[in-house]
Structure 1
Amino acid sequence: MMISGVVYSLGDWIAQCVEGKPLFDFDRTRMFRSGLVGFSLHGSLSHYYYQFCEALFPFQDWWVVPIKVAFDQTTRATLWNNIYFAVLRLLRFESPASISSELKATFLPMLTVRIFLWFRFLHLLILLFTTNFLTICSLRSPVT
């Protein structure tokens, strides 16, 4: 949970710098809110999500991995993004009606972008995992 809070705080700081704010002149309240959501929700919800995912897909065969990855990158990612943005807006004291209308308006575009972004870079991830897997296997093999 602590790691999630730190990562979300740093991520928000980087996002503000990318948006054009000077390196040390950023919205600390916004960064704190983001870190608070990461600290209080991300770690614990991820823990329960992975337990749920193991119960939903209890198989250990190779074909389960792509199914879990697809489920994670579509269903879980979209659900978490909605929770994250809703809680951030509640911490900014926005009305539940405005939060609900914005989430309804952005749900499908967000899901679509995630799917297209994920499948566009899937081959890079497979290459990365294959390279890492082969490296680990070569380190574990006895030297002759």
Structure 2
Amino acid sequence: MTKEKIKEMMKEARLMRNYDHPNVVKIYGVVVEREPLMIVMEFITGGALDEYLRKNGNRVKLEEKLSNMCAGAAWGIEYLHYMNCIHRDIAARNCLYTNRKHVKISDFGLSRKGDAYQLTTAKKLPIRWLSPETLASGLYTKVNSSIKYDGTISKW
């Protein structure tokens, strides 16, 4: 693992350790004494929400989607915004679904602390669901994050 990857991973872990919410994946620690380095998080039995929806989408009732999936993701995002975090990659693939049908936000690799984050260099980004404002200006805000959430749930 390169020094840059280690640095990114540790940044993600440091950010995650600040969060304690039912709709945000919990971090328990980081294994750094041997390869591969790992972030140890709570185990979510259901896996990624996008995979769950691919397998079960036509059998999932609208009420379940609204009350469990959409609301759970929204509560997690609201908490992250309250904690001054911009996730920057809200998508069903980064939401985990428990066997109790709760959604938990995960994958904080692109997340940043603050009210806004300005891209300073060209980087690989998941642009498929970026808000038009972010695409045009490179500025991520809590509002843009909410717009990305809207784009994500429209796919559910």
**TM superposition score category, shorter chain reference:** under 0.3
Q: Using CA pairs below 8 Å that are at least 6 residues apart, which structure has the higher relative contact order?
A: 2
Q: Which structure: larger Rg?
A: 1
Query: Greater share of strand residues, 1 or 2?
Result: 2
Q: TM-score under structure 1 normalisation?
A: 0.26
